[in-house]
Amino acid sequence: MNSLFTIFLGMVLIDNFILSKFLGLCPFFGVSKKLSNAVSMGTAVTLVMVIASIATSVIYNYILIPYKVEFMNIIIYILVIAALVQIVEIVIKRTNIVLYNALGIYLPLITTNCAVLGVTLINAQNNYSLVQSIISALGGGLGFTLILIIMSAIREKNELADTPKSMQGLPIAFIIASLLSLAFMGFNGLL
């Protein structure tokens, strides 16, 4: 059952990062007000997740396991992710200024996004190989982007609705997320 396609589909639809694992909620509620921001944020997260998964998977499989220091993975992962985000930011700034301007402030914010650390820990927990890790990160990132886009489209419309005063803003966003999560539970029987 651990084929690449199963991992990918599972990460996008069934174990969706936002709706069923509750990872990356802060950026989710922060930037899901406008569609254009949602696309930029989703792209940035997916990119960093894939790169971080490659790096941490290599470190885990070829350094931590042979030397039997798997318990050090939390400290090492968070440092690797922080460093990677910096490097990615510099590289994008030098090579593709259009993309850099589009991603803007979202890149540095990603270090503390629990979805990135989450995907690397899930990879380690399931003992995924390098290729499996990349696929799971890609699936997770795309799932994150998908929900971000759906959510921002709904919230743009919701701005015009007459919401009770105490429900405005975050509470109604949580209710929308709950309905989305309910809808996505329908994918549970897919695999």
Partner 1 sequence: MIETKEKFTAKKFWKELAKGIVLTNPVFVLILGLCPTLAVTTSINNALGMGAGVIFVLLGSNIIISLIRKITPNMVRIPVFIVVIAAFVTILSLLFEAYIPPLYESLGIYLPLIVVNCIILGRAEVFASKNPVLLSMADGIGVGLGFTVSLIIISFLREVLGTGSLEIFGKKLFAIPVLSQSPLTIFIMPPGAFIVIALLMALFRLLGVLKNE
* Residues 64-83 contacting partner 1, CB under 8 A: 71-75, 78-79, 82
Of 1 and 75, which has the nearer Cβ to partner 1?
Answer: 75
Least spacing, CB of residue 119 vs partner 1, in Å = 10
Interface with partner 1 (CB under 8 A), residue total 41
Least spacing, CB of residue 86 vs partner 1, in Å = 10
Amino acid identity, residue 133? S
- Among 3, 91, 171, 191, indicate the residue that binds partner 1 (CB under 8 A): 171
Residue 109 · residue 27 · CB < 8 Å: yes
What DSSP assignment string belongs to 51-117? HHHHHHHHHIIIIITTTT-GGGHHHHHHHHHHHHHHHHHHHHHHH-HHHHHHHTTHHHHGGG-HHHH
Least spacing, CB of residue 73 vs partner 1, in Å = 8
d(CA 135, CA 182): 25
* Residues 90-149 contacting partner 1, CB under 8 A: 112-114, 117-118, 121-122, 125
d(CA 38, CA 146): 9
Q: What is the torsion angle, in degrees rounded to the nearest 10, for the CA atoms of residue 54, residue 58, residue 60 and residue 61?
A: 130
Q: Does 63 bind partner 1 (CB under 8 A)?
A: no
Q: Does 158 bind partner 1 (CB under 8 A)?
A: no
Structure tokens at 18: 């936002």
Structure tokens at 31: 């930037």
Of 20 and 43, which has the nearer Cβ to partner 1?
Answer: 20
Near partner 1 by CB under 8 A, which window of 48-56, 95-103, 128-136, 169-177? 169-177
Q: Which residues of the chain form contacts with partner 1 (CB under 8 A)?
A: 19-26, 29, 71-75, 78-79, 82, 112-114, 117-118, 121-122, 125, 164-167, 170-175, 177-179, 181-182, 185
